[in-house]
A and B are shown apart, each in its own frame.
Chain A
Amino acid sequence: MKNRALTLYAFAYLAFLYVPVLVLPVFSFNNSEFIAFPLSGFTTRWYANLAGDSAMLHALGNSLKVGLVTSLLATMLGLSAAKAVTHYRLKGAGAALGFISLPLFVPDIVLGISLLLLLGAGGLPLSLAAVVLGHLLVCVPFALTVLVARFEGFDRNLEEASADLGENDWMTFRRVTFPLMLPGIVASLLLTFITSFDEFLIAYFLSGTEATLPVYIWGQLRFPARLPMVLALGALILTVSVALVMVAEYVRNLGVKKPMVGA
């Protein structure tokens, strides 16, 4: 039976996707320092330890700072670029979009090393600011993709109507463009934040002494005794990430079914 084979395949594929991920929360509640079956009992002490780990909390703070700044900057840059390519007949708009998206296809390790060399040559210190710059390279393309899609469903006459009704460019942006773009902007903020928050390689090269959370976790893996705590942390990040992506997808589709064009 063809259908049964397909169903089996679908389940196998889902298992392949999610079983490894589920290992994380399972072992994070296991009352043993060793990551092995059989499970030896339920505990929440790894989560309790986590809350008392000041180095971890500091790294978490760094990641949040980098993520917030990166997502705001990437979304602002993406908004300008998306408006430019969708509103005006620009020469080389296609090429510009291609070049903006290119960092997505360059391996992060290459980006990380290039930026490291560049900072060194410029005499600039490794810092969280450097991490933000690196993350912008990979986040702006995401922001652009989300925002261009939103702008393309946008009736240009709406902005002309606003001008016709007495509002200048800035007020037109505030009263028409921004409210209509808001779902796209929120989706862009969430996606770029997650991208930055989860990013490891670029942060590893550029963060210097101020570790972000993924870099900190990588450092902890050298100590077997701390492994369960890292698993607990991973489980938390996983939960928050999934929640944020789902919110982003939900918001991105808000209002899409409503006609954006006047007719």
Chain B
Amino acid sequence: MSFLAISQVSKAFGGSPVVDQVSLEVPRGEFFSLLGPSGCGKTTLLRMIAGFETPDSGTIAIDGEVMNRVPPHLRPTNMVFQSYAIFPHLNVFDNIAYGLRKLKLPKPALRARIEAMLATVRLEGLGNRAADQLSGGQRQRVALARALVREPKILLLDEPLGALDKRLREAMQIELRALQRKVGITFLLVTHDQEEALSLSDRVAVMESGKILQVAAPRELYERPANRAVADFIGEINFFHATMREIGPDSFSVNAGLLGVIQLPIANLVPGIKPGDHILLAIRPEHVLFAPEGLAGEIAAATFLGERSHFHVRIPGRSDPVAISGTVPPPGDAVHLQFPPERLIALPSRPN
């Protein structure tokens, strides 16, 4: 059994399922993210792991022990709340020392441990600071320190960077990743921000409507989405309707309408698709190329984004424009597009 093993867990509020038959395995020491839009059940799943909600069915086990009947205060997990929940009547030191009462440490040992933790989250010398005199970033560090000082088996983070402004958020992402490597504790992060999930995590579970759509490493999630919903949710992507023709040992061929009949490598095929099936071909904007010949179109919009630019090309006979990023088009609005076959991924046409 994995370090964190979630098996067939369901939870409904007032009759409507919020988490639906979710199973998940997370090994020790991994930085794992639950990614999904708000209301997808990711926070409820996190709160079930912490013990604040009880699953209607299924089991949650940590390090081989089933947790279903264990109350939150006895679980080997600690949580960083979205609101941080810093105790307003305690200073930074006492906030961090809050969870160590039962250890009955002698004063010098307690002080040493808190000072070390303050240094870990880079809050040296702020132990006496009152809770209401902290900036957003400092509150977040106190919340982290307060949870980590208990050396939990799993640290749960509920949208921990959501309350910070963009620059601080990016700086904290890097720090959070470094911190996780340093302490070696399993981190389980809940976020709706795909960039955050991709940049921080070893693996990501994409959730929608209470179900897990795909669990994979960030690069695989981006390059090999398992279905349309994941492809759509992670970054921008172009879809082409197509029909599967033949599937060979090394490659398969599709009839892609405007793109004609194309031969694709077998690695780009999601399992379960049969010849004759209606499928979607997906390609990321940065993989579409401007070329002297190919699919003819006209540039409808161009956006300058600093290191790379973004274009929308309108194709006659197609309703959605094709999104392209990265390469510079030839002068003039009339262009031709190339779609490298090794970048086209075949997905089932049903949503997930």
Determine the distance from Cα of A69 to Cα of B337 in the docked complex, in whole angstroms: 86
Chain B 60-99 per-residue mask, 1 if CB under 8 angstroms from chain A, else 0? 0000000000011110011101111111110000000011
Closest Cβ neighbor of A258 among chain B residues: B132
Which of B87, B146, B163 is the one whose CB lies under 8 Å from A176?
Answer: B87
Closest Cβ neighbor of B52 among chain A residues: A160
B residues in contact with A162, CB < 8 Å: 87, 98
A152 sits at the interface (CB 8 A): no
A157 sits at the interface (CB 8 A): yes
The secondary structure that dominates the B interface is mixed
B residues in contact with A259, CB < 8 Å: 88, 132
Complex interface residues of chain B between 32 and 60 (CB less than 8 A to chain A): 50-52
Does the CB pair B150–A160 fall under 8 Å? Answer: no
Min CB gap B218→A, angstroms: 28
Min CB gap B20→A, angstroms: 23
Does the CB pair A263–B73 fall under 8 Å? Answer: no
Does the CB pair A166–B99 fall under 8 Å? Answer: yes
Determine the distance from Cα of A164 to Cα of B155 in the docked complex, in whole angstroms: 11
A residues in contact with B143, CB < 8 Å: 262
A–B Cβ pairs within 8 angstroms, 20 of them: A155-B85, A161-B79, A161-B81, A163-B71, A164-B72, A164-B77, A165-B73, A165-B78, A165-B98, A165-B99, A165-B150, A166-B74, A166-B99, A167-B101, A168-B71, A180-B89, A255-B88, A258-B88, A262-B84, A263-B83
Closest Cβ neighbor of A165 among chain B residues: B99
Determine the distance from Cα of A263 to Cα of B102 in the docked complex, in whole angstroms: 28
A179 sits at the interface (CB 8 A): yes
Min CB gap A150→B, angstroms: 13
Min CB gap B258→A, angstroms: 50
Question: Given A160-B81, A166-B102, 8 more contacts at CB 8 Å?
Answer: A155-B83, A160-B79, A161-B146, A163-B52, A165-B146, A165-B150, A166-B150, A167-B99
Does the CB pair A163–B81 fall under 8 Å? Answer: no
Complex interface residues of chain A between 216 and 263 (CB less than 8 A to chain B): 255, 258-263
B139 sits at the interface (CB 8 A): yes
Does the CB pair A157–B81 fall under 8 Å? Answer: yes
On whether A262 and B72 interact (CB within 8 A), knowing A157-B81, A165-B146, the answer reads no
A residues in contact with B98, CB < 8 Å: 162, 165, 175
Closest Cβ neighbor of A164 among chain B residues: B79
B residues in contact with A260, CB < 8 Å: 88
Determine the distance from Cα of A160 to Cα of B82 in the docked complex, in whole angstroms: 12
Determine the distance from Cα of A262 to Cα of B79 in the docked complex, in whole angstroms: 14
Does the CB pair A164–B88 fall under 8 Å? Answer: no
On whether A164 and B163 interact (CB within 8 A), knowing A155-B83, A157-B85, A261-B83, the answer reads no
B residues in contact with A167, CB < 8 Å: 73, 99, 101
B residues in contact with A115, CB < 8 Å: none
Complex interface residues of chain A between 7 and 63 (CB less than 8 A to chain B): none
On whether A158 and B87 interact (CB within 8 A), knowing A165-B146, A165-B150, A175-B98, the answer reads yes
Which of B72, B77, B84, B89 is the one whose CB lies under 8 Å from A263?
Answer: B84
A residues in contact with B99, CB < 8 Å: 165-167
Determine the distance from Cα of A176 to Cα of B136 in the docked complex, in whole angstroms: 22
A residues in contact with B83, CB < 8 Å: 155, 157, 261-263
Closest Cβ neighbor of B140 among chain A residues: A262
Closest Cβ neighbor of B78 among chain A residues: A164
Determine the distance from Cα of A259 to Cα of B131 in the docked complex, in whole angstroms: 9
